[in-house]
């Protein structure tokens, strides 16, 4: 037992020695030098201050690998990869499978025994596995999209997403479906590319078509009953999930790399990612999170599904199960709400399966101490339970589960299916962003995110880990977007007027006969902010290249405003609250700010906190493919009957 423990500890320190920056010059050919350096291992380990450069799940795989075993990894580099790294990969037997130049990342197949030596290179920033990626009718009425489009606000014509490009990173789009035509019968899927290796851009799995139509499906079928939120937006189809609904991080990085290079050609302002992978690495080092940050910094709003792990095996609420890239602070992370099949919002609730925060991805320092991100997520929730949308012809989901066909039409290109999950909620929010950007193209991603949260409806009895700022309110978000100045720039001084009017809008909306107050607050990484100044004064964190959370200073469980980023007239929350359904911060204390930060962790794994339990340590067992994201059990509902299609195109959407 003692010898086994001693060997385990020794293996850990040898691994640590090999993968930290101070010994990055040790290459496979320098065996003598390596042996000499090993003599001073104890002193070396004590002097190490850098983080470990190999993700924890990859490190476990490497240490337990068989002789000759190879692994697929994502290598992030410190700047563009050069000849030195190419030579090192050649020496170590590494094969480059994908080169993502805009992201300073590569997909590499390499002997497991060589991973630690590769990590020792000065050119390498971080190495993680090429993990698995998987997917996680009254929508326009209950979200307020109908009201926003009909009113048009200050726009000369009703809003429908015209001119705005939405990239759908998913399992493909069945472009033959009637939902993707414009009023002149032109196809709105303007580009498609496959990143799975299957060489096709249609949707044999069925998930991506359903998602795309929720964001931007037209109303031709069943007299507009299944109109998406932005029914005339352009769609860019980036296929990263294969015919069985699974993919790899390398494919996802390929799509994100393409977006960085081609976003302006199609005016791609919105990206929808109704998929995810285990949130193991801190967002600071996760390659997908870092790619998302680059897109956001370049003006693209990225929406990510929270995940469908909000309910444990015994039916209890679980916390800490947000997936990547939903753990990225710059992304708009969306949870699922249950509308119970009614347009009025008075009975809406957070879906039981919707993943709750905080984020539990982490980074590891010397000695093995973990530092969890513990960000408050999701940012908001949107309808996601039992939503009816476009059905790709002959797709695997419906073939395997015929009961999911909604019975709307037997005709090819007009069939509809019903799915539940945060995968469905995310494109609803993405469509809302398209309307906002049509109303005001000058909005930055941070402003879009802030306005969505500020106008959201807090749901009574749910804390910020469950609903973020609250339930999506398209009417309020679009109304407020119209009022934001279009001449904002990095030089705009802090506290300058944000709106074109001196009188702020009424912080309330009425949708489908139900009136409610806005949250009047925004989530800021570990806490939230409230105050009229959020919409009347320009805040520096509304710009590009920063995070909303940069407006907060934290220390010793005390939080204050960053006076360089945030104006006066704004209050910072000191605790995560259970909302009373009126305004952000109302209700009972669920978790104190200091407890949330703690020493890098949120209570002990499995410890009960208020109304639920804390999930595990953020590591999901298995091969990295997220199970259950496609077909979570829909919450019970007195769900409305699906309107049947008569085969005639309805063009008054």
Active site residues: 170, 207, 423
Helix (H, G, I), strand (E, B), or coil: what is residue 356? coil
Which residues does 250 contact at the CB level (< 8 Å), separation at least 6? 72, 74, 97, 98, 107, 130
Angle, CA of 80, 112 and 246, to the nearest 5°:
75
List phi, psi (to 5°) of 434.
Answer: -60, -40
> What is the C-alpha separation between 343 and 552, in angstroms, rounded?
37
Nearest alpha carbon to residue 138 among 345, 366, 353:
345
Q: Which residues of 157-166 are buried (b: 16+ CB within 10 A; e: fewer)?
A: eebbbbebbb
Structure tokens at 478: 């679009």
CA 126 vs. chain centroid, Å, equals: 21
- Tell me how far apart the alpha carbons of residues 339 and 345 are, in angstroms, rounded to a whole number: 7
CB neighbour class for 190 (10 Å; exposed up to 12, middle 13-18, buried from 19): middle
DSSP 627: P
d(CA 61, CA 59): 5
What element of type H or E holds 416?
Answer: strand 416-419
8 Å CB contact between 438 and 424: no
Q: Does residue 160 contact residue 199 with C-beta atoms inside 8 Å?
A: no
């Amino acid at each position: 037992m003692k010898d086994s423990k001693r060997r385990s500890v020794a293996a850990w320190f040898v691994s640590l020695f090999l993968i930290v920056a101070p010994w990055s010059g040790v290459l496979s050919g320098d065996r003598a030098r390596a042996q000499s350096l090993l003599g001073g291992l104890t002193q070396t380990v004590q002097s190490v201050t850098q983080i470990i450069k190999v993700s924890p799940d990859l490190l476990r795989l490497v240490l337990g690998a068989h002789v000759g075993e190879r692994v697929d990894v994502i290598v992030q580099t410190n700047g563009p990869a050069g000849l030195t790294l190419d030579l090192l990969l050649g020496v170590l037997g590494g094969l480059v499978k994908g080169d993502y130049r805009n992201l300073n990342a590569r997909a590499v197949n390499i002997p497991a025994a060589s991973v630690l030596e590769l990590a020792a290179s000065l050119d390498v920033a971080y190495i993680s596995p090429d993990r698995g990626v998987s997917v996680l009718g009254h929508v326009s009425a209950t979200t307020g999209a109908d009201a926003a489009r009909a009113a048009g606000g200050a726009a000369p014509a009703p809003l429908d997403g015209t001119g705005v490009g939405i990239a759908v990173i998913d399992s493909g789009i069945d472009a033959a479906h009637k939902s993707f035509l414009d009023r002149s019968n032109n196809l709105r899927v303007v580009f498609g590319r496959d990143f799975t290796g299957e060489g096709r851009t249609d949707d044999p799995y069925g998930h991506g078509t359903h998602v795309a139509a929720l964001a931007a499906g037209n109303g031709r079928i069943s007299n507009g009953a299944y109109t998406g939120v932005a029914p005339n937006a352009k769609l860019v189809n980036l296929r990263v999930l294969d015919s069985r609904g699974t993919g790899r991080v390398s494919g996802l990085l390929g799509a994100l790399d393409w977006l960085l290079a081609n976003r302006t050609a199609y005016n791609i302002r919105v990206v929808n990612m109704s998929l995810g992978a285990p949130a193991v690495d801190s967002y600071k080092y996760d390659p997908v999170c870092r790619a998302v940050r680059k897109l956001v910094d370049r003006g693209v709003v990225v929406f990510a599904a929270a995940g469908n792990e909000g309910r444990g095996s015994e039916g209890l609420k679980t916390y800490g199960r947000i997936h990547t890239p939903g753990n990225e602070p710059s992304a708009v992370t969306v949870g699922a709400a249950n509308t119970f099949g009614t347009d009025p919002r008075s009975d809406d609730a957070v879906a039981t399966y919707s993943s709750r925060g905080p984020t539990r991805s982490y980074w590891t320092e010397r000695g093995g101490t973990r530092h969890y991100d513990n960000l408050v997520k999701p940012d908001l929730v949107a309808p996601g339970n039992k939503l009816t949308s476009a059905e790709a012809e002959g797709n695997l989901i419906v073939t395997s589960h015929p009961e999911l066909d909604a019975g709307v039409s037997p005709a090819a290109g007009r069939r509809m299916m019903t799915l539940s999950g945060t995968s469905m909620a995310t494109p609803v929010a993405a469509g809302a962003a398209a309307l906002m950007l049509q109303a005001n193209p000058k909005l930055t991603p941070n402003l879009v995110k802030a306005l969505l949260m500020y106008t959201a409806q807090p749901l009574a009895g749910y804390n910020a880990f469950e609903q973020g700022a609250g339930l999506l309110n398209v009417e309020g978000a679009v109304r407020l977007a119209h009022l934001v100045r279009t001449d904002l720039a990095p030089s705009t001084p802090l506290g300058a007027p944000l709106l074109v009017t001196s009188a702020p809008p009424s912080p309330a909306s009425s949708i489908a006969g139900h009136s409610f107050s806005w949250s009047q607050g925004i989530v800021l990484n570990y806490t939230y902010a409230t105050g009229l100044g959020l919409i009347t004064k320009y805040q520096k964190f509304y710009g590009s290249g920063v995070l909303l959370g940069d407006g907060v200073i934290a220390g010793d469980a005390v939080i204050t405003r960053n006076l360089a980023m945030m104006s006066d007239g704004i209050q910072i929350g000191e605790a995560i609250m259970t909302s009373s359904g009126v305004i952000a911060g109302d209700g009972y204390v669920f978790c104190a700010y200091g407890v949330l930060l703690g020493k890098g962790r949120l209570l002990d794994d499995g410890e009960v906190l208020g109304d639920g339990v804390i999930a595990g340590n953020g590591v999901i067992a298995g091969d990295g493919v997220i199970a259950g994201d496609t077909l979570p059990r829909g919450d019970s509902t007195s769900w409305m009957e699906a309107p049947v299609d008569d085969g005639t195109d309805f063009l008054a959407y």
